Amino acid sequence: MSRETLSFPPTSIPPLEPYLPLTSPSPSSKPHLTLTYATSLDASLSLAPGVRTTLSGPYSKSMTHYLRTRHNAILVGCTTALVDNPALNSRLGSITSLDQQPRPIILDPKGRWDFTEDSQVIRLAAEFKGKGPWVVTKRGGETKERGELLERVGGKFLVLETGEDGRFKWGDVLSVLGEQGVRSVMVEGGGEVINSLLIDPENRLVDSVIITIAPTWLGKGGVVVSPSRQQGQTSQLKLRDVSWQPHGEDVVLCGRILRS
């Protein structure tokens, strides 16, 4: 299926610049982590678990594709890969080479993402319209057949130990990506991934937050961004250096997490 080429106006770039990774980061620093997603007025990402819900307007969609070009990698969880069958590339018309495309990263601690050559991210990599995905999974989560498919399109498995809860620790994820030469990563979803990043101390790894707020309510029962409150927690999680940018009917909120 052919999808339209997008454009992003250069005049819209300066307000975003303070929240984007450096063009020449220190090789010894951890990868810059940008958390970005689209939400409704009631903090929902989708109408219900497993239901793909479009929230972004035309401008914010183009902005997302621009942001992808400013990061080495874009990361989503396994559920997002299963439900959305995402392309995980950038469709900006200004892209002239594969080097300008971000590396797709899929967190799959349980080995649930049963991708095939028809999966969008695999197909586009085979067509040189995106890079082959790296799938972060636990030992035993990879298979020879799927590993060979990834290798054919320039992707691979990255094996990482999980904690007792069966999840990856974000520090470990960023460490293994850094070892692979990734200096910046844009985390796009889904709900479990976003909420896990907003819990202390994991939120200390987040360098910037860029949120598109759509003028709609989705109602109860949706997938909500609302990190669990830890036992004894009395402080609020806030943003600093906040910027609000209206674009069409959407508002884009940029900021950095306030460190206590």
| Domains along the chain with CATH numbers | 10-257 (3.40.430.10)
pLDDT at 50: 84
Give 260 or 23, the one with higher predicted confidence. Answer: 23
Q: Among 31-35, 61-65, 162-166, 203-207, which stretch is predicted with the lowest mean pLDDT?
A: 162-166
CA atoms within 13 Å, Cβ hemisphere of 172: 14
| Neighbour tally for 251: CB within 10 Å | 15
How do residues 150-159 score in pLDDT, each as one tens digit? 999 999 999 9
Residue 196 is inside which H or E element, if any? helix 191-197
Alpha-helical runs (H) found in 3-77:
58-69
**Do 89 and 130 touch, CB atoms closer than 8 A?**
yes
The answer to whether 44 and 218 have CB atoms below 8 angstroms apart is: yes
Instruction: Name the CA dihedral angle for 223, 229, 231, 235, rounded to a multiple of 10 degrees.
Output: 180
Query: 25: Cβ–Cβ under 8 A, 6 or more apart, which residues?
Result: 32, 183, 184
Predicted local confidence at residue 24, as pLDDT = 76
Output the pLDDT for position 153: 98
Categorize the per-residue pLDDT at 234 as very low, low, confident or very high, splitting at 50, 70 and 90. Answer: low
- Answer whether 124's CB lies under 8 Å from 87's CB: yes
Q: How confident is the model at residue 28 (pLDDT cuts 50, 70, 90)?
A: low
pLDDT computed for residue 235 by the predictor: 74
Torsional sign, CA 203, 205, 208, 213:
negative
Q: Which pLDDT score, from 0 to 100, does residue 178 have? A: 95
pLDDT at 1 over 50: no
- CA 242: distance to chain centroid? 20
Percentage of the residues of the chain whose pLDDT score is greater than 70: 97
Q: Label residue 92 exposed, middle or buried (CB < 10 Å: 0-12, 13-18, 19+).
A: middle
What predicted TM-score, i.e. pTM, was given to this entire model? 0.93
Tokens 């674009």, residue? Answer: 247
Q: What's the chain's length in residues?
A: 260
The values of phi and psi at residue 10, to 5°, are -55, -30
List the single range of 21-35, 36-50, 65-79, 171-185 with lowest mean pLDDT: 21-35
